[in-house]
């Protein structure tokens, strides 16, 4: 990317709408009420032939204490310091406010490249606000309508020379790290690389410590945290290297029971988090060790398994536990009893506050990812199937014998297997679970979702579709006899 653009301004001036316009996707949550965005969200923007990173920030507030708004402001100010270009957005319809004047003075001191944009400037209603924006002393305001896409051409012509200037100041070109063709061919399991980082989502109930855990992995306070429950709203993705493994980690909003979710923004936040799970390869279900395996935790874990994602269960706030051995045994017993569909999945204890247990979490994530990508040869599967059916033959309901003819793996991520059989409608679910548990044990696939499909082959006759034919010599003999007796009755007399 050639440069980084940070979008800042008061709450509800249209920053997230402009962000979605630049990235070409509805990534950021948008609503009429102010203060929806709280964290910094990054995206790959495209404007003409320009390619750059755009950052959507929280609305600037006139607060400097340790409250939620104060922490949001400090996070936004850090984004301004790190960005190459700052796009300061004001509301053309509301006009310039005293807060806008204060923030304009701050931006003049902090960032060399500041672009003033008057959003919602379509029609006559925004003309007055555009004229007032001249008084901010940041040059001629750019008339924009993020919702309707107006002013994008003008923004391109402003950014183009700035991009060239920023690129010229850099010491050298960026180097893309990629896996060589030889390495790619040699790997049966494609380990995460810089070109293909591991996609990880962290999900759980509100206030379980998801953002704190990700900040500990990143080694910096990148995500907004605090004692308040439900701080995170957007599903924020952050690229990092976790103990040598390239990853893209998704921080999601806390998921409460559906009946308790009445606020529109919270509904959007939960939907955004569920979408992040579908993008992920490995999902870390984060529990609060003080109240683990509540009903909502079980639903969240079941959702990740249903979506076919590799699952790692992590119990957070382990530093607060006094009797650790007894608590660990209780956690394992509850896990095996309440989540049988995730039998064998890794259960690790961590402390997001102190960083203890991150090495165990890293090892569990890599193991789950490798199992999720595992492939078993057809020959081994059929040898295994013969042994399994010999040890425990399928039932014969109504006297109809069920035959499991052969088995093959049709896909990975997660592993899926097809068994060709007869009378598949009569195979009980318990026998399917018997085979799935056997696959987990014998092929070392703990925890990962396994899809087992029975297809009815039936007792097909391979010669049924062929035309009946007579051997050649007999056919010639019959044809010769028919020629000699042509026109004569059966007795041989005329």
Annotated binding site for GTP: 9-16, 56-60, 119-122, 204-211, 251-255, 316-319
DSSP bridge pairs for 236: 251
Q: Which two tokens stand for residue 206?
A: 């509100």
Query: CB 407: neighbour CB atoms within 10 A?
Result: 24
What is the rounded radius of gyration, in angstroms, for the C-alpha atoms of the chain?
A: 32
The answer to whether 89 and 9 are in contact (CB under 8 A) is yes
Task: Select from 65, 132, 150 the least CA-distant residue to 92.
Answer: 132
Helix (H) or strand (E) holding 162: helix 152-169
Q: Which residues are annotated as a binding site?
A: 9-16, 56-60, 119-122, 204-211, 251-255, 316-319
Give the Cα separation of 315 and 347 in Å (integer): 8
The answer to whether 38 and 16 are in contact (CB under 8 A) is no
How big is the CA angle at 220 (ends 9 and 290), to the nearest 5 degrees? 105
**Which residues 6+ apart lie within 8 Å of 479 measured at CB?**
none
The pairing of beta strand 198-204 with beta strand 282-288: parallel
Give the Cα separation of 219 and 242 in Å (integer): 10
The answer to whether 407 and 381 are in contact (CB under 8 A) is yes
- b/e burial code for range 81-113 (CB count within 10 A of at least 16 → b): eebbbbbbbbbbbebbeebbeebbeebeeebeb
Q: DSSP letters along 67-136, please?
A: SHHHHHHHHHHHHHHH-SEEEEEEETTT---HHHHHHHHHHHHH-S-EEEEEES--SGGGHHHHHHHGGG
Q: DSSP letters along 223-240, please?
A: S---SSTT---S-EEEEE
Give the Cα separation of 24 and 433 in Å (integer): 44
Output phi, psi for 285, to 5 deg: -90, 110
Give the Cα separation of 82 and 435 in Å (integer): 54
CA end-to-end distance (rounded Å), the chain: 101
Give the Cα separation of 392 and 170 in Å (integer): 68
């Amino acid at each position: 990317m050639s440069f980084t653009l940070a979008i800042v301004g008061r709450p509800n001036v249209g920053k997230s709408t402009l962000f979605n316009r630049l990235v070409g996707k509805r990534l950021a949550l948008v609503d009429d009420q102010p203060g929806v965005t709280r964290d910094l969200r990054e995206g790959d923007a495209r404007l003409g032939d320009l390619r750059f990173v755009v950052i959507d920030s929280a609305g600037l507030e006139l607060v400097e204490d340790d409250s939620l708004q104060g922490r949001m402001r400090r996070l936004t100010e850090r984004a301004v310091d790190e960005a190459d270009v700052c796009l300061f957005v004001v509301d053309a319809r509301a006009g310039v406010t005293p807060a806008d004047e204060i923030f304009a003075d701050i931006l003049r001191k902090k960032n060399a490249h500041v672009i003033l944009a008057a959003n919602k400037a379509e029609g006559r209603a925004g003309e007055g606000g555009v004229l007032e924006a001249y008084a901010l002393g940041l040059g001629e305001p750019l008339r924009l309508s993020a919702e309707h896409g107006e002013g994008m051409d003008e923004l391109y012509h402003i950014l183009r020379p700035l991009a060239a200037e920023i690129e010229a100041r850099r010491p050298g070109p960026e180097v893309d790290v990629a896996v060589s063709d030889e390495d790619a061919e040699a790997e049966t399991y494609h380990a995460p690389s810089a070109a293909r980082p591991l996609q990880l989502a962290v999900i759980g109930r509100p206030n379980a410590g998801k953002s704190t855990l990700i900040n500990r992995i990143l080694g910096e306070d990148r995500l907004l945290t605090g004692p308040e429950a439900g701080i995170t709203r957007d599903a924020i993705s952050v690229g990092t290297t976790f103990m040598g493994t390239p990853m893209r980690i998704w921080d999601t909003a806390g998921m409460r029971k559906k009946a308790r979710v009445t606020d529109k923004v919270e509904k959007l936040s939960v939907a955004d988090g569920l979408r992040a799970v579908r993008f992920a390869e490995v999902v870390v279900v984060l529990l609060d060790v003080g109240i683990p395996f509540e009903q909502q935790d079980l639903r969240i874990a079941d959702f990740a398994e249903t979506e076919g994602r590799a699952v790692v269960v992590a119990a957070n706030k382990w530093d607060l536990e006094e009797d650790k051995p007894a608590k660990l045994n209780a956690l394992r017993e509850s896990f095996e009893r309440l989540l049988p569909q995730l039998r064998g999945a890794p259960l690790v204890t961590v402390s997001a506050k102190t960083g203890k247990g991150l090495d165990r979490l890293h090892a569990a994530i890599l193991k789950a990812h490798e199992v999720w990508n595992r492939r078993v040869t057809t020959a081994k599967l059929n040898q295994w199937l013969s042994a399994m059916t010999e040890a425990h033959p399928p039932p014969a309901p109504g006297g109809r014998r069920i035959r499991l003819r052969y088995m093959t793996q049709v896909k990975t991520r997660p592993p899926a297997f097809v068994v060709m059989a007869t009378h598949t409608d009569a195979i009980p679910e318990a026998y399917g679970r018997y085979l799935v548990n056997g696959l987990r044990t014998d092929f070392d696939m703990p925890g990962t979702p396994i899809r087992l499909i029975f297809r009815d082959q039936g007792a097909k006759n391979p010669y049924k579709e062929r035309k009946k034919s007579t051997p050649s010599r007999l056919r010639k003999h019959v044809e010769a006899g028919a020629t000699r007796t042509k026109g004569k009755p059966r007795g041989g007399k005329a």
